[in-house]
Structure 1
């Protein structure tokens, strides 16, 4: 499979980023190993997790990193994987925190759980909006110089603080973010396209959208009010079942039928057709779901398809 280089790095990835939030939550260790084996076996190599996954299970998190770490050790394939994790998220034990003290402590804990010497891509997961950006970047600088982190990236940071981070990095000779992980999909477009896309273009950021399938809404399996009541995620995605959401589902149906493929495959292919998007983040809990993801990079949507999806999702 053709690999893509993450901007400003020597990291080469296949164009789907597996979201490890399911490890230790909806997938136990054995099932996680099976999914990871299939993902890598199909030629993909980019795995995303966070120090707090899955805090909603035990109040602390760390399960996802531990499972990935055991898998890497068992399979002996660390050098074949581009590994991303994050710092700064809120848990029951602490609030959002990107202070130097928290970053340095959390990085060591993540390295221990993952069983690795170095994190390829280390994200600011959430901004605490208090810590000076120079302090945060200086902490990352320490980690990079110590060989514990290779490159840094940003997720839930305001456009203003993101730009301030780039200014501080240039002014103070500190590491700069090389990638952005925004909330972006067919039913969540405006925030990224209006506020973040110009920043990504200006600073040459690779873009890895999270919730690429809108927590499952864009798979097309939710078609009636009752469908949302029969799933744990129903309450969170029912908001999408409005006029726009229904238009998007109809457009996905049309394109999926045209290519004899799944709606989720089309939704991911739409993201991949965006010039700024490098690799959507998406999870799977079964072999059939994985096949849906694997098909997306092979689906070349034409201008008519993209126009139809763009119009429906306006």
Structure 2
């Protein structure tokens, strides 16, 4: 299994996204998806303390709570790498030291565990919180054994560089991973400055929106209607020449490998420098095998070039 940055976290090359747990997948369906993922060899589960606060009747933390109850029922915590995030829970916003400490305790309680393997800054708190304050809070959690490693998600290249420099200068815990919005129809959200920083510091990328809200599964086609809570965001890509070109290229490469489009879209990410494991979610266990299959598909140089050209 690939390793995240220079850490001791060895993960399956497909991270299972927990954003749907408590949203489009109820607890029973979530358990079935998690079971299917682990049965297929997966060990890397990604969630956030804010999932899924946007759903009417939810307050945030639903995904963590479902994962926690599932781990308790299966007794498999030690077999897993659990990643969660701080900064966007309605009752625990931001990256102040006090908030990080309190939010971590909340996440540990909901997950029913004594440690978080990878704890992300979900969104930056610029300009309100100095990066040193945030990093000292993380450092304290790591020294207490409550967090093993830290990462960041939505942060400018400038603040990321400032954070890495501060960690090195002050001897504080340092980010080992970045979770960017990155996929075949959204490349400039990671490629360029962010990717260069990650490569220069030996970090790893764990992209979210790896399937562009489902668009890259190929189920969104002209004249089709998809029953999904994310249909609006995904279908918009059909209106662009790039979106249509990417689908055509995915069709061609998928046919060469006798694979599903979702598998190829994720394999393209995995073929990129610094990417250790893209994130993808599933509402049903039947959707899981196509995601896990990314571990077995190796794109050729020609495959990658075709997808690069279509998505440029």
Query: Per the shorter chain, which TM-score range?
Result: over 0.9
Q: Give the alignment's TM-score, normalised by structure 1.
A: 0.95
- Counterpart contact for 2:53–2:89, Cα < 8 Å: no
Give runs of aligned pairs for residues 156-235 of structure 1, distance below 5 A.
Answer: 156-224=154-222, 227=225, 230-235=227-232
Equivalent in the alignment of 2:242 = 244
How far does residue 30 in structure 1 lie from its aligned partner after superposition?
1.4
Equivalent in the alignment of 1:102 = 99
Equivalent in the alignment of 2:293 = 295
- 53-62 or 72-81: which moved more? 53-62
Equivalent in the alignment of 1:85 = 84
Equivalent in the alignment of 1:254 = 252
Quote the Cα distance in structure 2 between the aligned partners of 1:288 and 1:257: 21
Give runs of aligned pairs for residues 112-191 of structure 1, distance below 5 A.
Answer: 112-129=109-126, 130-191=128-189
How far does residue 191 in structure 1 lie from its aligned partner after superposition?
2.4
Quote the Cα distance in structure 2 between the aligned partners of 1:34 and 1:188: 30
SS in 2 for 1:163: helix
How far does residue 59 in structure 1 lie from its aligned partner after superposition?
5.0
SS in 2 for 1:134: helix
Structure 1 stretches (4+) deviating beyond 6 angstroms?
none
Quote the Cα distance in structure 2 between the aligned partners of 1:294 and 1:226: 26
Identify which of structures 1 and 2 has the higher relative contact order when contacts are C-alpha pairs closer than 8 Å and 6+ apart.
2
SS in 2 for 1:34: helix
CA RMSD of aligned residues (A): 1.4
Q: Give the alignment's TM-score, normalised by structure 2.
A: 0.96
How far does residue 263 in structure 1 lie from its aligned partner after superposition?
0.8
Quote the Cα distance in structure 2 between the aligned partners of 1:179 and 1:261: 29
How far does residue 215 in structure 1 lie from its aligned partner after superposition?
0.3
How far does residue 90 in structure 1 lie from its aligned partner after superposition?
5.6
Give runs of aligned pairs for residues 37-56 of structure 1, distance below 5 A.
Answer: 37-56=35-54
Quote the Cα distance in structure 1 between the aligned partners of 2:258 and 2:224: 27
SS in 2 for 1:191: coil
How far does residue 236 in structure 1 lie from its aligned partner after superposition?
1.9
Quote the Cα distance in structure 2 between the aligned partners of 1:234 and 1:282: 16
Unaligned runs of 5+ in 1: none
SS in 2 for 1:296: helix
Equivalent in the alignment of 1:21 = 19
Quote the Cα distance in structure 1 between the aligned partners of 2:10 and 2:243: 35
Give runs of aligned pairs for residues 40-79 of structure 1, distance below 5 A.
Answer: 40-57=38-55, 58-79=57-78
Quote the Cα distance in structure 2 between the aligned partners of 1:226 and 1:75: 39
SS in 1 for 2:190: helix
Unaligned runs of 5+ in 2: none
